[in-house]
Amino acid sequence: MLGRLSLSIKYSLIFIITGVLIAAAMLVSLYYFKSEVLRNEAQAVAAQVVSFRSWVAKSGMVWVDNLSTDFHDFLSKREDAAGNFYFGKNPALATRELSEIANKSAIRATFRVTSDEYRQPLNAPDDFESRAITAFKNDDGQRYYEDYETDTYRYAQPVYVKQSCLKCHGDPEDAPKEVIEKYGADKAFGYKVGDVRGIISVKLPDLKLMDLIHNLANPITIGLILAAFLINLAYTQWGLIRRLRNLTNGAEAMSQGNLDADLPFNDPQKSRDEVDHLGGAISLLRNSLKVAMRHMNK
């Protein structure tokens, strides 16, 4: 029978249930928080990729006079009057090479740019990336696409076709001959401004809920929870239970004939506290008892 347990036990039970409910609420919040943190991190990486591409695109191409052995790919080749060669890297190619370097040294985030119509076999999309591309093509308003794979968070955001892209992704007739020579005239052409050309795809190690919970085990959080517990305990013990016990003792003493027993309470007229009102009621009872006794004694 729960109803017959002491107030301190009842209150402790309620405190524990409250604690469990708050912990559950915190876990759910942590889960949302985790997704938010991962998404923010992925978006920061994607923003860097966008900036880099746009820097290369604004320059048209980056020209290098020395092809490193790891990065020997190029789109165009130029010779100056002195017979020196320069190799042009277009934005997509430069981004692919950047991503190779970045992904090798990556502690957390890796990224790449991919498309359903890829010119470069190394850019072929995987299953998640294909789903993301389809999602963006079906819904103009969708800003990002995300999913979890074993221990990995996956994020994608669309890359749209702009006017400047049409030179190499519009009509093959307009395309620089190097593009046709290298990739042919049937790959990744025929786009219009606003089309989804591809995606920036970011991979991050998933944040474990356990690791986040670990962060809660710091002295400040534990101290605050302990303080909450002690305040509750102190209030029930001294603010409630002890005062009720005092009134009980007083009433018991009265029942045994000590009509002047100590009844500690504040004036009920000036207090809204229910224990004070109980004290006031017992005190009224005591006055009636005294009057009755006086009558009987006469």
- What is the rounded distance in angstroms from the CA atom of residue 250 to the CA atom of residue 203? 72
CA distances from 245 to 19, 150, 275 (A): 27, 59, 11
Buried b (16+ CB within 10 A) or exposed e, 3-19: eeeeeeeebbeeeeeee
Between 168 and 254, name the residue whose CB sits nearer to ligand HEC. 168
Range in contact with ligand HEC (rule: CB under 6 A) among 114-122, 250-258, 264-272, 275-283: 114-122
State which of positions 171-190 bind ligand HEC (CB under 6 A): 176, 179, 183, 188
State which of positions 15-54 bind ligand HEC (CB under 6 A): none
Between 178 and 273, name the residue whose CB sits nearer to ligand HEC. 178
Per CB under 6 A, the list member of 45, 56, 87, 90 interacting with ligand HEC is 90
User: Smallest distance, Å, CB 44 to ligand HEC?
Assistant: 20
Between 59 and 221, name the residue whose CB sits nearer to ligand HEC. 59
197 sits near ligand HEC (criterion: CB under 6 A): yes
Per CB under 6 A, the list member of 119, 154, 203, 243 interacting with ligand HEC is 119
Per CB under 6 A, the list member of 158, 198, 250, 268 interacting with ligand HEC is 198
CA distances from 108 to 44, 103, 122, 145, 150 (A): 13, 9, 21, 19, 15
Between 109 and 188, name the residue whose CB sits nearer to ligand HEC. 188
113 sits near ligand HEC (criterion: CB under 6 A): yes
Per CB under 6 A, the list member of 75, 132, 156, 275 interacting with ligand HEC is 75
- What is the rounded distance in angstroms from the CA atom of residue 122 to the CA atom of residue 60? 23
User: Smallest distance, Å, CB 57 to ligand HEC?
Assistant: 5
Range in contact with ligand HEC (rule: CB under 6 A) among 43-51, 107-115, 228-236, 245-253: 107-115
Nearest residue to 244 via CA among 10, 2, 1, 18: 10
Nearest residue to 153 via CA among 210, 212, 207, 113: 207
Per CB under 6 A, the list member of 99, 110, 123, 236 interacting with ligand HEC is 123
Between 11 and 189, name the residue whose CB sits nearer to ligand HEC. 189
User: Smallest distance, Å, CB 205 to ligand HEC?
Assistant: 25
How far from chain centre, in Å, is Cα 274?
A: 45
Cα 77–Cα 55–Cα 60 angle in degrees, nearest 5: 35
Residues in contact with ligand HEC, counted by CB under 6 A, come to a total of 28
Per CB under 6 A, the list member of 168, 247, 275, 278 interacting with ligand HEC is 168
State which of positions 255-294 bind ligand HEC (CB under 6 A): none
- What is the rounded distance in angstroms from the CA atom of residue 174 to the CA atom of residue 169? 9
169 sits near ligand HEC (criterion: CB under 6 A): yes
196 sits near ligand HEC (criterion: CB under 6 A): no
Q: Are 84 and 65 a contacting pair, CB within 8 Å?
A: yes
Structure token digits, residue 135: 């999602």
CA distances from 127 to 50, 111, 140, 145, 196 (A): 23, 15, 21, 13, 17
How far from chain centre, in Å, is Cα 47?
A: 19
Q: In which residue are the tokens 């604004």 written?
A: 58
C-alpha torsion sign, points 102, 104, 105, 108: positive
User: Smallest distance, Å, CB 87 to ligand HEC?
Assistant: 13
